Amino acid sequence: MSSRVSRRAFVTGTLGLAFAAALPGAGRAQGAADAPGGLKLGEPFAFRFDDLIARARTAAGDPFREPYRPLPEVTAAIDYAAHGQIKFKPDLALYADGPSAYPATFFHLGEFFQAAVKMHRVVDGQAQEILYSPDYFAMPADSPAHRLPPDAGFAGFRLQESTGEDRWRTHDWLAFLGASYFRAIGELEQYGLSARGVLIDAAVPDRPEEFPLFTEFYIAPAEEGEAVVIHALLDGPSLTGAFRFQATRGKAVVMEVEKHLFLRRDVQRLGIAPVTSMFWYGEHDRPFRVDWRPEVHDSDGLALWTGGGEHLWRPLRNPQATTVSSFLDENPRGFGLAQRDRNPEHFLDGVRYENRPTLWVEPLGDWGRGAVELLEIPTDDEIHDNIGAYWVPEAPARAGDALTYRYRLHWVAHEPFLPGTIARTVATRIGRGGEPGKPRPAGVRKFVVEFEGGPLPYLKTGVIPEAVITASRGEVSHVFVEAVPGLFGRWRAHFDLTAAGSEPVELRLYLSLDGEPQTETWLFQYVPRLES
């Protein structure tokens, strides 16, 4: 993952490829038909997920080949502004006239999406390629897209809201665009962070990150309220893959993912179920006068539910150097990047950061031993996705390996499995240590962590929970716990940390009463010299 990946558009990597194996019926052939609504279709052929898996497995034994990128000098001229002016005509959407309740519309190629991706409809076990035509798109007369060849192809697709709603032509709820990126809206009707098919060698020294590409999609119809089944083929220099997504549009969006990966070569960091987001600054690390808004982020923390049942919260950071933090676990119950702060006064921005979804990964089956990793990359603006979270298996990823994973993605307002029996972290604040009215000692930082909910609103008058604090090094002092004045049910813990040198300090805190945790566990990585 690069700190230069735009979050205003899905950006492909420089790598990726369509498989060399030809599909039955690929291309416009005699006997091809038109779909209802005017889309041009290739010849039908039988489609099964098992066959897609077999194709991916076979392709992994062949050398990687570059994808079809029609006239790169033309697609490079379709910049962000020009791409935004190219609109798919909604009346031509796949399944606009049925049998699916959720029509699909398509993205055009552009500067950031130069590789052609094949699209297919699947009805009654028969697939047909959707053949590109510039006539599907409304675009300005002077758009560079007019210079592309007739077989240019599509960049990706999105699912529109149900045709049972008047707004279906203008509102979508799921989008696949760029490399293996995809997004869905949450309960608060906003897009935000992204998921990816797989992460390969992000932040590995002397080895560039690889961005494999979804090269083919197969979209099946679904009745309203049912899961839309989408199949996808993945290809890249290091691996191939076959994916099945079952996406359900309800109050939130829930997707069940099954993926089969086949490695062409060794991978040093193989990220499973990767989530990508943006954190520029928040309440705990806002640089002085860097921007007029109080906070700017799509997500503000990493939430984890360990295999042992502990709930952890790690506030995100915008570090001065790229940092990878590993949280060892076995059969994790879940993890995700969350936007917990929902107060619009904390953002004051028309893009509505307070409504960005939380994305929770729920593993299905036995994932074994490994680690949830948190990748934090320095950024100086909000346009870069600089945060990643993903699962890394303990076993090395070697050429010839075949790996299968299943999980659910929950695009929601709040993490779905945080129990009501413990309070959650709602604020992290950092300032100068010491005591008011006295000289502030050098090298001392004060941390104030606030918790809310769970049993805290029901504590009897005079009962004060204990702050249980550990630090990997340094000295903790001035520990103090209090109810937050004016905010019923919210408690805060104060403590000072004195730590010399520049090595990171790993902090851990929770509130306890009679030896029982009353809150989730707050984690933080503090770097004294860099953050002094």
Identify the CATH number of the domain in which residue 431 sits.
2.60.40.10
151, 182: one domain: yes
Of the CA atoms within 13 Å of residue 487, those in its CB half-sphere come to: 13
The verdict on residue 418 lying in a domain is: no
DSSP classification of residue 222: -
Sole residue written with tokens 């129990």: 419
Which tokens go with 44? 């039908």
116, 73: one domain: yes
Contact 177, 155 (CB under 8 A): yes
The verdict on residue 356 lying in a domain is: yes
The verdict on residue 3 lying in a domain is: no
Domain interval for residue 504: 424-526
Of 392, 412, 432, the residue at which a domain comes to its end is: 412
The verdict on residue 34 lying in a domain is: no
Residues 6 or more apart from 273 whose CB is under 8 A from it? 195, 257, 361, 363, 390, 391, 405, 407, 409
Cα–Cα distance measured from residue 232 to residue 222, given in angstroms and rounded to the nearest whole number: 17
The verdict on residue 433 lying in a domain is: yes
398, 323: one domain: yes
pLDDT of the chain, 532 residues: tens digit per residue = 543 334 334 333 322 222 233 333 333 333 455 666 689 999 999 999 999 999 999 999 999 999 999 999 999 999 999 999 999 999 999 999 999 999 999 999 999 999 999 999 999 999 999 999 999 999 999 999 999 999 999 999 999 999 999 999 999 999 999 999 999 999 999 999 999 999 999 999 999 999 999 999 999 999 999 999 999 999 999 999 999 999 999 999 999 999 999 999 999 999 999 999 999 999 998 777 789 999 999 999 999 999 999 999 999 999 999 999 999 999 999 999 999 999 999 999 999 999 999 999 999 999 999 999 999 999 999 999 999 999 999 999 999 999 999 999 999 999 999 888 999 999 999 999 988 888 888 889 999 999 999 999 999 999 999 999 999 999 999 999 999 999 999 999 999 999 989 899 999 999 999 999 999 999 999 998 654 4
Cα–Cα distance measured from residue 375 to residue 317, given in angstroms and rounded to the nearest whole number: 10
471, 353: one domain: no
Of 388, 412, 436, the residue at which a domain comes to its end is: 412
Question: Is the previous residue joined to 441 through a cis bond, with omega within 30 degrees of 0?
Answer: no
Report which of 6, 358, 371, 428 is spatially closest to residue 185, judged by C-alpha positions. 358
480, 515: one domain: yes
Q: Structural domain tally of the chain? A: 2
The verdict on residue 145 lying in a domain is: yes
Contact 1, 375 (CB under 8 A): yes
The verdict on residue 531 lying in a domain is: no
216, 117: one domain: yes
The verdict on residue 56 lying in a domain is: yes
431, 295: one domain: no
486, 352: one domain: no
484, 397: one domain: no
At position 434, the amino acid (one-letter code) is G
Output the pTM of the full model: 0.92
363, 454: one domain: no
DSSP classification of residue 102: S
406, 432: one domain: no
CATH number of the domain where residue 352 is located: 2.70.98.10
At position 27, the amino acid (one-letter code) is G
Of 391, 412, 433, the residue at which a domain comes to its end is: 412
394, 482: one domain: no
